[in-house]
Amino acid sequence: MAGKNKARVFVKLVSSEGTGEFYTTTVNHRNMESKKLKLKKYDKKLRRAVIFNEEKMK
């Protein structure tokens, strides 16, 4: 039986432009111990791609 992977954690990707847009995803923190995830994704309010930074889920 496969158990839940405890290394994967839910994170919130928040727009760096301050529009309030966010995405959610999971990250394996065993591989990315000290690095924060930064992805270029589409911001619907600005209608262009911007950098999204990792934050913890509440």
What's the pLDDT tens digit per position in 5-43?
788 889 999 999 999 999 999 999 888 888 899 999 999
Residue 19 is assigned to a structural domain of this protein: yes
Residue 3 is assigned to a structural domain of this protein: no
Report the pLDDT value the prediction gives residue 16, as an integer from 0 to 100. 97
Is the pLDDT score of 2 beyond 70? no
Residue 43: give its domain's CATH number. 2.20.28.120
Q: In what order do the strands lie in the sheet with 22-28?
A: 22-28, 8-15, 48-56, 38-43
Is the pLDDT score of 1 beyond 60? no
CA dist 22 and 30 (Å) reads: 24
**Matching residue, tokens 């954690």:** 9
Residue 2 is assigned to a structural domain of this protein: no
Q: Looking at the 3D structure of the chain, how many domains does it have?
A: 1
Report the pLDDT value the prediction gives residue 15, as an integer from 0 to 100. 98
Domain with 35, as residue range(s), is 8-56
Report the pLDDT value the prediction gives residue 17, as an integer from 0 to 100. 97
Question: Which alpha helices (H) appear in the chain, and where do they start and end?
Answer: none
